[in-house]
Amino acid sequence: MAATRKSPHADAAAVIAQMGGSKSQARIVWEQFRRHKIALFGLFVLAAMYLIAAFAGFIAPYGINEYRRTPVSAFMPPTNVHWIDPETGRLTRPFVYEYVSERDPVTRQRVFVENRDGPRYPIAFFVHRPDHPYEILGMFRSDLRLFGVEDPARIFLWGTNNLGKDVFSRVLYGGQISLTIGVLAVWVSLSLGMIFGVIAGFYGGLVDDFIMRLVEVLDAIPGLFLLIVLATLLKDPRNPLAQAFGLSMTSGQTFLMIVIVLGFVGWGGLARTIRSLVLSLREMDYASAAKALGASEMRVMFRHLLPGTASYVMVVLTLAIPGFILAETGLSFLGLGPSEVDSASWGLLLRDATARGISIQFVPWLLIPGIPIFLAVLCWNLVGDGLRDAFDPRKRR
Amino acid sequence: MLPYVIRRFFHLIPTFIGATLLAFMISQLVPGDFLTTKALEPNVRQETIDRLRAQYGLDQPVMVQYVRWMGNIVRGDLGLSFASNQPVMNVIRRPIQNSLYLVVLATVLLWLMAVPLGVFSAVRQYSLGDQVVSAVSYFGLAIPNFFFAQVLILAIFLFRGFTRDTFGYTDLVFPVAGMTSNGWEEFSPWRQFWDIAHHMVVPGFVVATAGIAGFTRVLRGQMVEYLESDFIRTARAKGLGSRSVTYKHALRPAIIPFVAGIGALLPSLIGGAGLVEIVMAWPGITPRLIDAITRQDIYVVLGFLVISSLLLMIGNLISDLLLATVDPRIRFS
Amino acid sequence: MRKLILSLAFVAVATFAMANPFVYPASWTTTPLGEAQMGGTIVQATLSDPRTFQPVLQSETNEVTDMMQWATLLTQGPDSDEWIPYAAESFTVNEAGTVFDVVLREDLRWSNGDPITVQDYFASYLLQTDPETGSNKYDGWFLNDVQITLEITGERSLRFTFPGPDRTAFGTVALFPVPDKVLGEAYRTGGAEAVNALWGTETPVEELIFDGPFMLTGFQPGERLVWAKNPYFGEWNVDEAGNPLPYLDGRIHRIASQDAQLNLFLAGEIDLFAPRNLDDIGVINVAIQNGDVDAVVLEGYGGAGSSSFIVFNWNQASNPGKEALFRNVNFRKAMYHLVDREAIIELVFSGAAEPMYSGVYLPNSFWLDDATPRYEYDPEAALEFLARAGYSQRDGDGFLVNAAGERISFTLATNAGNQSREQMVQIFADSAREIGVEVEPTSLDFSLLVDQLLSTGDDRAFDAILIGLTGGSRTWPFGDSVYNCNGFLHMYNTSGSCLSPAETLMEQLNKEGKQTLDTDAAREIGLQIQEIEAGMAPILYLVSPQLHAAWSAKIGGELPDEYKGAFTGTRMIALTHVR
């Protein structure tokens, strides 16, 4: 096959070669990265998002699935927070009113009206809610919430969904799933891609042929089919994997399964990339030198060749993460994502919006979960671009 | 040339067998089959289900089913769709054709939007404009397609409110669902074409936006590289105008990889215009495929897979041929 | 009694006219007699492509086969559940209710002008009773595993012979014809295989033959079906003024998902739409108010012909504790009292649903009775029943425990992606947790769920499932597969045999009721079944969504409000007209 294209891998190999493992490499890269203002912005936004997601329990006023059956708070618009005392007209401690609702005869929607004659409920900070404890990073257990109002009033900063669950709280909790799903799925992809890519690139010959054929086979199967069927399969508590590990498919385990599915569908491209990197690296002097010095094949592969691919792989990973975040929203759109009953992800929250069709016009606040998805995907891309430029010596300024 | 094509074909056979076999096995892992859900009808007897299962060959071991199916493929028969009791080819032909329309339009739109943006970014590298362009180009990438389509539909309806109040115009500016208007069959061929084109604008735009960021980003990188290369400097030194240099000498080589990418569009069809088709009721591949998967109408799923493998091969071939035409350095051996 | 008068009216009209067409009563439309405009086209919508054009092997109703299965010998009008002669001029039943003699009308015609003859009905019978054709009507031709037979007894007369009396016999006698010259001929020469090869969706529409009011003239897969008036239909179908039916010249079906249908309706591209919920209605109302569409909205014209329920698994040999719990009637009654239907209706269906207390669908109101015991949401009563089941103490976390200190803990599964079911599961789990019962909500893929539910034997893999059923008969709304202990939809117990006397009794009553020809007597038996079922509470019935309709204001001829319903819809297509 003579038709060759200018391969991005050749670039990458050149980059790697030039970096040559100098000690100050990390610093140089960081300095380059810092000049890339937009990428830096992306990094800060991401850091903030991950931090908020980690402390979701503390910041969110309500639990992940908290709602009440009576009085109904379904489809409540964002709660109006008052800063000014209506009697004195002066700035006061922020407070909210209780809401009463009735159905609009035309739109047939529940219309919520503030009960301004009723008592005011000041927003309290650092409130304890003993009935609704939470965990942070699976380590600290607490029931202290950043803010809240006293019952029966409620504070819904971004409104509620049809059961009356707080969208604001759910977006924060949803970040825990959606932001980690991308990172974890990338690791699954990476592990598979690394193992197969390095083996293929290093041994070449039949092994290489076989692995590359396998990648092609996976490529030829429509991704949508793989996603749907695997997601279906792995959510079954009787699936072989679950039985092997004695899982009962709780929401957490289902979530991991989805990660595996996403990662499994995406590893082929990575393996191909890494293989070609290894192919070019193998011919380089230091690999031959190591071999000549009597290092074992394994050692050459994992101590010398693999680290050589690190910077390029890092860029690829950063750019792959947003793809997985989007893939999760697609799965959720098809009803194959995390389950409504015991978890929340941004894709799931977005489904609340897409399932409404054009009647979303009555409940526009359900579109809010689109914003963090947009931001996360955008920022990961910006950071990936920044990293690529920073790693590339030709782009140094 | 011809031997090359033939070699490519034989190269594909093992992949093809592997992919179909794997797909077959995976689909068998899902418990139940096409007839399981039928059993939920209160008036169906168990014997009926068993009889149909035997009739469809679903009672046979997986490998037997596979070998039978493969035998039919060799004879050019894609098998039978259980759900519609007719040849798979009949079921999948139209959806593939319809998706093809959409993907072609989306590609044209993508080029129309992305090439100017990429060139602008490259010429004004690191300027404010460059940064704005890259930020805007990310928009389509960062918003899930199906969601974007839905937001656009809502926008079209809201825009009707605006045109109604200001101009008394109560029609929608773009259709919000489907591929053709009522009475399409009676239209003149020219009007039929325009009707479909009109219906394609919104979904095509949505599909295209998703690709803009990637396209612009790479095009910009390539162009920057060429603009800084020696031959451009030579061209400039020889007194060529900057416009000519940019378009003739930098854009043309920078665009070569994208030309090559056109072939890859065909197989990407199967993953397809995707969920947009569901939201916009576009009679394309995705809704059909999902329907077949959920009904466990396995031969229809495999039918799409077969076509996708073929398209992959044809696509790669077209890519190579195109590349050879645009890039004088490449010859077939 | 009114029903009888109506049928007499048919006879009266019949004697005046020379020809003997079926006369659509003026009471089946809101349009006064003679005011319906002739001509015009309407646009409807349907969810998916027809999967076949073949009326016999059709495994699900589609618009095309619907127009081919039209000239049934008997029919049920929108005004009653009684069977009246349609393509038949008259019919008689013997004393025992086992032999039906039917006489055909004279002027029956196919859309190609050929007369519809007894041969055509017989061909239909032959094809349906051959298992090789895979007809979904096949099972209907067996009564207790003995085949029902049909014979031609004259130029225009047919005889159905049943092995025993059967309420659902009318449904079998309501046979539709198939063109003997095409399908029957193919069957004689090539058997079932030749029949199945005919009339796939690729068949040119000119080759298709219809007996309904419209004939297909165009099909764009994934987009639309185009219909023209069947010119011969009017020869045997007229309104009371003697005008040939249908009034319309044509109709179109757009093929689109429900979301897309709503969008199309708002864009004015389709004329009829079934709003799914109050959100849809709200959007349409707003569009009407703004003057964007000129339409009529009908909110909540009845309950849907479907059920939703929670069922417990009685076959858990590997988990005797749970098995005993689920077989304990007090436990199940307690759970029944935890179904907060009010919350489900308000939150999940935004108010547009009705509570269900029995397996009989709401539109089958004739078979329902207020006296059947009901389990309303009542946590106190639930606690009482749980105490009787041995759960009266609480552990450190506040959960109810029995003497051995064991909690009540089970998983409740439903199909993933079905948001309203997932939310019903959640509401139930939350109500249970409030009184100290641990319910773990899960969602599984639909095929997995069904697989678990329909698995048989003494050890099945699930605890409890929330799912729904649809389909069934108006003449006897209890399915054999549901009420017979060895039926495969006997979902709580699929061990193959009855485990409790109540199950045995229900099985017997079902058999008995099915054989009771007198409707009122059958109803009594039906009520008895429902009462026994309520007494043992094997299945917790939840709610049924309400049906809504919307149509463009230019469309007329809908049914009077009292006749609209899940089984009859909102209009007869033959009487529909444009203004």
Is A236 in contact with C259 (Cβ distance < 8 A)?
A: no
Confidence class for position B13, pLDDT limits 50, 70, 90:
confident
The residue of A11, A206, A354 whose CB has the most chain B CBs within 10 angstroms, and thus the best one to mutate to test that interface, is A354
Q: Check residues A173 and B262 and name the one with the higher pLDDT.
A: A173
Place of tokens 């490529």: A219
CA distance A34 to A32: 5
Q: What is the DSSP string of B11-27?
A: HHHHHHHHHHHHHHHHH
pLDDT at C336: 95
- If you average pLDDT over every residue of chain B, what do you get? 79
Checking if the pLDDT of A8 tops 50, the result is no
- Identify the chains in contact with A, defined as 3+ C-beta pairs within 8 A: B, C
- Per-residue pLDDT of A327-343, as tens digits, reads 888 888 887 777 766 67
Q: Which residues of B touch C57 (CB under 8 A)?
A: 85
- Per-residue pLDDT of B288-310, as tens digits, reads 888 888 778 888 888 888 887 77
pLDDT at A15: 45
CA distance C51 to C34: 38
What stretches of chain A adopt beta strand conformation (E)?
A: 82-84, 91-97, 99-103, 110-114, 120-122, 124-128, 134-136, 140-142, 144-148
Closest to B261 (Cα-Cα) out of B223, B304, B218 = B218
Checking if the pLDDT of A373 tops 50, the result is yes
Q: What is the DSSP string of C158-215?
A: EEEE-SS--TTHHHHHSPPP--IIIIIHHHHHHHHHHHHHSS-TTS-GGG----SSEE
Residues of chain A numbered 332-361 and touching chain B (CB < 8 Å): 333-334, 350, 353-354, 357-358, 360-361
Closest to B40 (Cα-Cα) out of C500, C217, C270, C60 = C60
Checking if the pLDDT of C324 tops 60, the result is yes
Q: Which residues of C touch A340 (CB under 8 A)?
A: 419, 422-423, 426, 443
pLDDT, average across residues A22-51: 82
Is A340 in contact with C289 (Cβ distance < 8 A)?
A: no
pLDDT at A393: 66
CA distance C141 to C150: 10
Q: Which residues of B touch C222 (CB under 8 A)?
A: 94-95, 98, 179, 283-284, 287-288
**Chain B contact present for A206, CB below 8 A:** no
pLDDT, average across residues A291-308: 70
pTM for this prediction: 0.84
Show Cβ contacts of residue C345 under 8 Å, excluding neighbours closer than 6 positions. Answer: C351, C352, C353, C354, C355, C543
* Residues paired with residue C464 on neighbouring β-strands, in sequence order: C312, C412
pLDDT, average across residues C92-99: 88
Closest to C259 (Cα-Cα) out of B289, B176, A348 = B176
Which of B27, B142, B320 is closest, CB to CB, to A229? B27
CA distance A249 to A231: 12
CA distance A71 to chain C (A): 10
pLDDT at A256: 73
Checking if the pLDDT of B6 tops 70, the result is yes
Is B323 in contact with A3 (Cβ distance < 8 A)?
A: yes
Residue A177: how many CB atoms within 10 A of its CB? 24
- Report in angstroms the alpha-carbon separations of C390 from C314, C401, C403: 18, 8, 7
The residue of B34, B51, B80, B85 whose CB has the most chain C CBs within 10 angstroms, and thus the best one to mutate to test that interface, is B85
Which of A226, A333, A385 is closest, CB to CB, to B146? A333
pLDDT at A1: 32
Is C286 in contact with A340 (Cβ distance < 8 A)?
A: no
Q: Which residues of C touch A163 (CB under 8 A)?
A: 347-348, 423, 426-427
- If you average pLDDT over every residue of chain C, what do you get? 87
A61-65, A235-239, C141-145, C432-436: range with lowest mean pLDDT: A235-239
pLDDT at C95: 86
Which of C200, C257, C290 is closest, CB to CB, to B86? C200
* Residues paired with residue C569 on neighbouring β-strands, in sequence order: C565
pLDDT at C234: 92
Percentage of chain C modeled with pLDDT above 90:
49
Contact (CB, 8 A) for C61 and C47: no
pLDDT at B252: 73
Is B40 in contact with C201 (Cβ distance < 8 A)?
A: no
pLDDT at B270: 55
CA distance A255 to chain C (A): 13
Region A169-395: CATH code: 1.10.3720.10
pLDDT at C10: 43
CA distance C475 to A276: 71
Checking if the pLDDT of C539 tops 90, the result is yes
CA distance C461 to chain A (A): 9
Confidence class for position C326, pLDDT limits 50, 70, 90:
very high
Is B32 in contact with C450 (Cβ distance < 8 A)?
A: yes
Q: Which residues of C touch B160 (CB under 8 A)?
A: 292
Q: Check residues A117 and C1 and name the one with the higher pLDDT.
A: A117
- C contact set with A (CB within 8 A): 259, 262-263, 266, 278-283, 285-286, 289, 299, 340, 343, 346-348, 350-351, 416-419, 422-423, 425-427, 429-431, 440-445, 447-448, 461
Q: Check residues B307 and A45 and name the one with the higher pLDDT.
A: A45
CA distance A135 to A143: 9
Closest to C181 (Cα-Cα) out of C116, C273, C248, C94 = C116
CA distance C374 to chain A (A): 21
Nearest residue on chain B to A352, alpha-carbon basis: B147
Domains and CATH numbers, chain B: 12-74 (no CATH), 99-326 (1.10.3720.10)
Helix (H) or strand (E) holding C67: none
pLDDT at C232: 93
- Per-residue pLDDT of B318-332, as tens digits, reads 777 776 766 666 555
CA distance C232 to chain A (A): 42
pLDDT winner (highest mean) among A257-266, B122-131, B281-290, C470-479? B281-290
Q: For the CA atoms of chain B, what is the radius of gyration?
A: 25
Closest to C24 (Cα-Cα) out of C72, C77, C73, C89 = C77
pLDDT winner (highest mean) among A66-80, A279-293, C4-18, C359-373? C359-373
Contact (CB, 8 A) for A262 and A367: no
Is C416 in contact with A334 (Cβ distance < 8 A)?
A: no
Confidence class for position A305, pLDDT limits 50, 70, 90:
low
Confidence class for position C202, pLDDT limits 50, 70, 90:
confident
CA distance B14 to B20: 10
pLDDT at C87: 93
Contact (CB, 8 A) for B300 and B6: no
Tokens of C488: 């495969």
Which of C52, C221, C488 is closest, CB to CB, to B85? C52
CA distance B266 to A345: 33
Torsion of CA C511, C514, C518, C522, to 10 degrees: 70
Show Cβ contacts of residue B180 under 8 Å, excluding neighbours closer than 6 positions. Answer: B192, B195, B196, B199, C220, C223, C224
Which of C278, C340, C447 is closest, CB to CB, to A69? C340
Nearest residue on chain A to B301, alpha-carbon basis: A225
pLDDT, average across residues B2-7: 73
Sign of CA dihedral B21, B22, B25, B30: negative
Q: What is the DSSP string of A204-268?
A: -HHHHHHHHHHHHHHHHS-HHHHHHHHHHHHTSTTSHHHHHHT----HHHHHHHHHHHHHHHHHH
Is C292 in contact with B280 (Cβ distance < 8 A)?
A: no
Nearest residue on chain C to A355, alpha-carbon basis: C259
Q: Which residues of A touch C340 (CB under 8 A)?
A: 69
pLDDT at A33: 82
CA distance B102 to A109: 37
- Report in angstroms the alpha-carbon separations of B273 from A230, B208, B270, C263: 21, 9, 8, 20
pLDDT at C492: 92
- If you average pLDDT over every residue of chain A, what do you get? 79
Which of A69, A107, A110 is closest, CB to CB, to C285? A107
Cβ contacts from A onto B, under 8 A: 138
Sign of CA dihedral B183, B188, B191, B196: positive
How many residues are recorded in chain C? 579
Checking if the pLDDT of C576 tops 90, the result is yes
Is C51 in contact with B283 (Cβ distance < 8 A)?
A: no
pLDDT, average across residues C9-16: 42
Show Cβ contacts of residue B2 under 8 Å, excluding neighbours closer than 6 positions. Answer: none
pLDDT, average across residues C108-130: 92
Main-chain dihedrals φ then ψ at residue A11, nearest 5 degrees:
-55, -50
pLDDT at C5: 39
Residue C39: Cβ-neighbour burial (10 angstroms; 0-12, 13-18, 19+): exposed
Nearest residue on chain B to A38, alpha-carbon basis: B131
Q: Which residues of C touch B184 (CB under 8 A)?
A: 220, 223-224
**Type of residue numbered A151:** D
Q: CA angle, C562 as apex, C557 and C566 as ends, to 5°?
A: 85
Domain boundaries, chain A: 62-163, 169-395
Exposure string over B220-258, b if 16+ CB within 10 A, otherwise e: bbbbbbbbeeeebeebeeeeeeeeebbeebbbebbbbbb
Checking if the pLDDT of B43 tops 60, the result is no
CA distance C242 to C103: 22
CA distance A137 to chain C (A): 23
Instruction: Estimate to the nearest angstrom the gap between the alpha carbon of B68 and the chain centroid.
Output: 30
CA distance A240 to chain B (A): 10
DSSP collapsed to 3 states, B109-167: HHHHHHHHHHHHHHHCCCCHHHHHHHHHHHHHHHCCHHHHHHHHHHHHHHHHHHHHHHH
Residue C21: how many CB atoms within 10 A of its CB? 22
Is A217 in contact with B301 (Cβ distance < 8 A)?
A: no
A13-27, A55-69, A173-187, C293-307: range with lowest mean pLDDT: A13-27
Q: Check residues C138 and C179 and name the one with the higher pLDDT.
A: C179
pLDDT at A18: 47
Helix (H) or strand (E) holding A48: helix A37-54
Q: Which residues of A touch B320 (CB under 8 A)?
A: 1, 3
DSSP collapsed to 3 states, C379-400: HHHHHHHHHHCCCCEECCCCCE
Q: What is the DSSP string of A253-314?
A: HHHHHHHHHHHHHHHHHHHHHHHHHHHHHHTSHHHHHHHHTT--HHHIIIIIIHHHTHHHHH
pLDDT at B208: 86
Main-chain dihedrals φ then ψ at residue B177, nearest 5 degrees:
-160, 150
Checking if the pLDDT of A279 tops 60, the result is yes
CA distance C263 to chain B (A): 6
Q: What is the DSSP string of B249-311?
A: IIIHHHHHHHHHHGGGHHHHHHH-STHHHHHTT--SHHHHHHHHHHHT-HHHHHHHHHHHHHH
- Count CA atoms within 13 Å of residue C194 on its CB side: 10
pLDDT at B37: 66
Cβ contacts from A onto C, under 8 A: 112
- Identify the chains in contact with C, defined as 3+ C-beta pairs within 8 A: A, B
CA distance C154 to chain A (A): 56
CA distance B204 to C125: 50
CA distance C51 to C136: 14
Q: Which residues of C touch A258 (CB under 8 A)?
A: none
ipTM: 0.81
Is A357 in contact with C442 (Cβ distance < 8 A)?
A: no
CA distance B7 to A2: 13
Strand, helix or coil at A1? Answer: coil
A57-61, C494-498, C532-536: range with lowest mean pLDDT: C494-498
Q: Which residues of A touch C461 (CB under 8 A)?
A: 237-238
